[in-house]
Structure 1
Amino acid sequence: MSPRPRAAWPLVAVFTAGYLAAYLLPTVVGRLDAHLGLTTTQAGLVGSALLLSSACAGLALAGRVERYGARRPARVGLLLVTLGYGCASLTATVPLVLAGVVVGGLGSGTATAVAVAGIAAQRDPHRTSSLGLLSVSATAGALYLTMPHLGGGHRLPFAS
Structure 2
Amino acid sequence: MDKKMYTQSDNNHSGSRNLGRLIMQLRRLERQPHSFGTAGPLTPSEIHTVEAIGFEGGVLMSELAGRLGITKGAVTQLIARLEAKELVTRSPHPNDSRAIVISLTETGREANAAHEEVHRRFYDQLRSQLSEQEIEIFERCIEKLNVFLQQ
Alignment TM-score > 0.5, same fold = no
Instruction: Compare the two structures and name the one with the higher helix fraction.
Output: 1
**Structure exhibiting the larger radius of gyration computed from Cα positions:** 2
Instruction: Compare the two structures and name the one with the higher strand fraction.
Output: 2
Query: TM-score scaled by structure 2?
Result: 0.30
Query: TM-score scaled by structure 1?
Result: 0.28
